[in-house]
Amino acid sequence: MLKVSIKYQQLKEAERFFEILKNPSFIYLDTSVKSVADEKKWLRKNAARRKNNTEWNYSIFYGRQLVGGIGIKINQTRKYIGEIGYFIDEAYWGKGIVTKAVKLMEKDGFKKLGLSRIEILMRPENKPSERVAIKNNYKKEGRLKKYLKDKKGKMRDAWLYAKVL
Protein backbone atom coordinates (compact mmCIF):
# COMPACT_ATOMS: atom_id res chain seq x y z
CA MET A 1 0.00 0.00 0.00
CA LEU A 2 1.34 3.42 -0.96
CA LYS A 3 1.87 6.02 1.70
CA VAL A 4 -0.12 9.26 1.97
CA SER A 5 1.87 12.32 3.02
CA ILE A 6 1.45 16.09 3.10
CA LYS A 7 4.11 18.75 2.48
CA TYR A 8 4.05 22.52 2.14
CA GLN A 9 2.88 23.49 -1.34
CA GLN A 10 5.61 24.59 -3.75
CA LEU A 11 5.57 26.90 -6.75
CA LYS A 12 6.80 24.10 -9.03
CA GLU A 13 3.50 22.27 -8.36
CA ALA A 14 1.38 25.00 -9.98
CA GLU A 15 0.81 23.17 -13.29
CA ARG A 16 -0.27 19.98 -11.54
CA PHE A 17 -2.63 21.87 -9.21
CA PHE A 18 -4.16 23.71 -12.16
CA GLU A 19 -4.60 20.41 -14.02
CA ILE A 20 -6.48 18.99 -11.01
CA LEU A 21 -8.54 22.12 -10.27
CA LYS A 22 -9.80 22.70 -13.81
CA ASN A 23 -11.70 19.38 -13.72
CA PRO A 24 -15.40 20.07 -14.44
CA SER A 25 -16.32 17.21 -12.07
CA PHE A 26 -15.48 19.50 -9.13
CA ILE A 27 -19.06 20.63 -8.60
CA TYR A 28 -18.59 21.47 -4.90
CA LEU A 29 -15.25 23.27 -5.16
CA ASP A 30 -15.30 26.87 -6.25
CA THR A 31 -11.92 28.23 -7.24
CA SER A 32 -10.99 31.50 -8.90
CA VAL A 33 -7.90 29.98 -10.53
CA LYS A 34 -8.23 30.50 -14.30
CA SER A 35 -4.65 29.75 -15.41
CA VAL A 36 -1.30 28.34 -14.30
CA ALA A 37 -0.19 31.96 -13.79
CA ASP A 38 -3.12 32.47 -11.37
CA GLU A 39 -2.14 29.32 -9.50
CA LYS A 40 1.49 30.49 -9.24
CA LYS A 41 0.31 33.87 -7.95
CA TRP A 42 -1.78 32.11 -5.31
CA LEU A 43 1.05 29.73 -4.30
CA ARG A 44 3.53 32.62 -3.92
CA LYS A 45 1.39 33.97 -1.07
CA ASN A 46 1.53 30.77 1.01
CA ALA A 47 4.63 31.76 3.02
CA ALA A 48 2.94 35.02 4.06
CA ARG A 49 -0.23 33.13 4.97
CA ARG A 50 1.79 30.85 7.25
CA LYS A 51 3.72 33.76 8.75
CA ASN A 52 0.46 35.60 9.48
CA ASN A 53 -1.15 32.35 10.75
CA THR A 54 -4.12 32.71 8.41
CA GLU A 55 -3.73 29.54 6.31
CA TRP A 56 -1.50 26.49 6.23
CA ASN A 57 -1.64 24.83 2.79
CA TYR A 58 -0.12 21.49 1.88
CA SER A 59 0.20 19.22 -1.12
CA ILE A 60 -1.20 15.70 -0.80
CA PHE A 61 1.08 12.95 -2.08
CA TYR A 62 0.13 9.35 -2.72
CA GLY A 63 3.50 7.66 -2.82
CA ARG A 64 5.52 10.14 -4.90
CA GLN A 65 2.56 11.37 -6.95
CA LEU A 66 1.05 14.79 -6.22
CA VAL A 67 -2.70 14.06 -6.10
CA GLY A 68 -4.29 17.05 -4.37
CA GLY A 69 -4.19 19.79 -1.80
CA ILE A 70 -5.29 20.30 1.78
CA GLY A 71 -5.19 23.25 4.07
CA ILE A 72 -6.40 24.71 7.29
CA LYS A 73 -7.71 28.26 7.58
CA ILE A 74 -7.35 29.86 10.98
CA ASN A 75 -10.36 31.79 12.28
CA GLN A 76 -8.97 35.30 12.70
CA THR A 77 -11.38 36.21 15.49
CA ARG A 78 -10.95 32.92 17.38
CA LYS A 79 -7.42 31.80 16.56
CA TYR A 80 -7.93 28.48 18.36
CA ILE A 81 -10.37 27.37 15.62
CA GLY A 82 -9.36 26.08 12.18
CA GLU A 83 -11.29 24.90 9.14
CA ILE A 84 -9.93 22.11 6.96
CA GLY A 85 -10.52 22.13 3.21
CA TYR A 86 -9.22 19.77 0.53
CA PHE A 87 -9.35 18.65 -3.09
CA ILE A 88 -8.02 15.58 -4.89
CA ASP A 89 -7.55 14.47 -8.48
CA GLU A 90 -10.63 12.57 -9.67
CA ALA A 91 -8.47 9.56 -10.58
CA TYR A 92 -7.81 9.11 -6.83
CA TRP A 93 -11.36 9.57 -5.50
CA GLY A 94 -12.63 6.85 -3.18
CA LYS A 95 -9.23 5.45 -2.19
CA GLY A 96 -9.12 6.83 1.38
CA ILE A 97 -6.35 9.27 0.53
CA VAL A 98 -8.21 12.38 1.71
CA THR A 99 -9.25 10.61 4.92
CA LYS A 100 -5.56 10.01 5.71
CA ALA A 101 -4.57 13.53 4.64
CA VAL A 102 -7.20 15.03 6.97
CA LYS A 103 -5.77 12.96 9.84
CA LEU A 104 -2.29 14.37 9.09
CA MET A 105 -3.61 17.94 8.76
CA GLU A 106 -5.56 17.59 11.99
CA LYS A 107 -2.43 16.42 13.82
CA ASP A 108 -0.60 19.59 12.71
CA GLY A 109 -3.62 21.71 13.62
CA PHE A 110 -3.90 20.43 17.16
CA LYS A 111 -0.21 19.89 17.96
CA LYS A 112 1.76 22.41 15.89
CA LEU A 113 -0.80 25.21 15.56
CA GLY A 114 -2.31 24.82 19.03
CA LEU A 115 -5.91 24.66 17.84
CA SER A 116 -8.58 23.37 20.19
CA ARG A 117 -11.30 23.00 17.53
CA ILE A 118 -11.18 21.96 13.87
CA GLU A 119 -14.17 22.21 11.55
CA ILE A 120 -15.01 20.71 8.17
CA LEU A 121 -17.81 22.32 6.15
CA MET A 122 -19.47 20.75 3.13
CA ARG A 123 -22.61 21.04 1.08
CA PRO A 124 -25.19 18.48 2.29
CA GLU A 125 -25.19 16.71 -1.10
CA ASN A 126 -21.38 16.23 -0.98
CA LYS A 127 -21.55 12.71 0.46
CA PRO A 128 -17.86 11.81 -0.15
CA SER A 129 -16.73 14.81 1.90
CA GLU A 130 -19.19 13.92 4.63
CA ARG A 131 -17.75 10.38 4.73
CA VAL A 132 -14.23 11.84 5.18
CA ALA A 133 -15.43 13.82 8.22
CA ILE A 134 -17.23 10.82 9.72
CA LYS A 135 -14.29 8.44 9.16
CA ASN A 136 -12.07 10.92 11.04
CA ASN A 137 -14.53 11.02 13.97
CA TYR A 138 -15.77 14.55 13.38
CA LYS A 139 -19.22 15.14 14.84
CA LYS A 140 -22.06 16.71 12.91
CA GLU A 141 -23.07 19.89 14.74
CA GLY A 142 -25.74 21.14 12.41
CA ARG A 143 -26.84 22.73 9.19
CA LEU A 144 -25.72 26.27 8.38
CA LYS A 145 -28.37 27.94 6.26
CA LYS A 146 -27.19 29.78 3.14
CA TYR A 147 -23.58 29.61 4.30
CA LEU A 148 -21.57 28.73 1.17
CA LYS A 149 -21.65 30.29 -2.30
CA ASP A 150 -21.70 27.94 -5.26
CA LYS A 151 -19.95 28.56 -8.60
CA LYS A 152 -22.89 30.64 -9.81
CA GLY A 153 -22.94 32.83 -6.70
CA LYS A 154 -26.03 31.18 -5.20
CA MET A 155 -26.03 30.77 -1.43
CA ARG A 156 -26.16 27.14 -0.31
CA ASP A 157 -26.56 25.34 3.01
CA ALA A 158 -23.60 23.55 4.61
CA TRP A 159 -23.14 20.77 7.13
CA LEU A 160 -20.84 21.72 9.99
CA TYR A 161 -18.70 18.89 11.34
CA ALA A 162 -16.18 19.53 14.11
CA LYS A 163 -13.64 17.86 16.37
CA VAL A 164 -12.53 19.38 19.66
CA LEU A 165 -9.70 18.56 22.00
Residues 120 and 83 sit within 8 Å (Cβ to Cβ)? yes
Of 106, 108, 66, residue with least CA distance to 87:
66
Of 162, 72, 69, residue with least CA distance to 111:
72
Domain boundaries, the chain: 4-164
Query: Averaged over 115-131, what is the pLDDT?
Result: 95
User: Cα dihedral sign for 97, 99, 102, 104?
Assistant: negative
For domain 4-164, give the fold.
Aminopeptidase (3.40.630)
Residues 6 and 57 sit within 8 Å (Cβ to Cβ)? no
Give pLDDT, residue 22: 86
Q: What is the DSSP letter of 11?
A: G
- pLDDT digit string (tens) for 92-106? 999 999 999 999 999
Give pLDDT, residue 26: 74
CB neighbours of residue 47 within 10 Å: 10
Measure the CA–CA gap between 10 and 23, rounded to whole angstroms: 21
Give pLDDT, residue 32: 67
Provide the percentage of residues in the chain whose pLDDT is more than 90. 85
Kindly indicate the confidence band of residue 153, based on its pLDDT and cuts at 50, 70 and 90. confident
Kindly indicate the confidence band of residue 1, based on its pLDDT and cuts at 50, 70 and 90. low
Give pLDDT, residue 112: 95
- pLDDT digit string (tens) for 25-53? 776 666 667 899 999 999 999 999 999 99
- pLDDT digit string (tens) for 49-65? 999 999 999 999 999 99
